[in-house]
Structure 1
């Protein structure tokens, strides 16, 4: 059950990052989950572990990391669209 809870929280974090930036995460639900997991990893590297923990994620660093990730992925996809 812990793994499923982590997937749900990762998806919500990825979804919130896309919502805050006003961009859709490529890949839909799976993309949101991946953005949440990678964002949590990135946020913990940049900011460390602090704030509330839900589903094994430090929520604030994970959200900030996911926002950075969604922003970078959005820039990459936008530049690929222009060149195609």
Structure 2
């Protein structure tokens, strides 16, 4: 059940991050889910301990964990755009 929730939340976070970074037309739903989950994992392991917030992978879905996951997904998309095009957008 936790994996299903992680996939759904990751998909929504990835979709919102792709809307912010204007890459939604280039990605499908699968890539949105991957970006959301990977961005959440990166932010959860790097940023959550600094702020004292539980990562989203611990099962705690709160506003701070969702915001940290969203920021991680946006940063991941910015890095991908920088590598792919040479510009963040």
- Give the structure-1-normalised TM-score: 0.73
1:1-84 matches, within 5 Å, as 1-24=1-24, 27-48=27-48, 50=53, 53-54=60-61, 58-79=65-86
Structure 1 unaligned residues grouped into runs of 5+:
80-84
- Any idea what SS the aligned residue of 1:54 has? coil
How far apart, CA to CA, are the structure 2 residues paired with 1:41 and 1:18?
17
- Give the structure-2-normalised TM-score: 0.70
Return the structure number with greater strand share: 1
- Any idea what SS the aligned residue of 2:24 has? coil
How far apart, CA to CA, are the structure 2 residues paired with 1:46 and 1:54?
17
Superposition CA RMSD, Å: 2.7
Count of residues in Structure 1 that have an aligned counterpart in Structure 2: 78
Structure 2 unaligned residues grouped into runs of 5+:
none
How far apart, CA to CA, are the structure 1 residues paired with 2:25 and 2:32?
6
Displaced runs of 4 or more, over 4 A: none
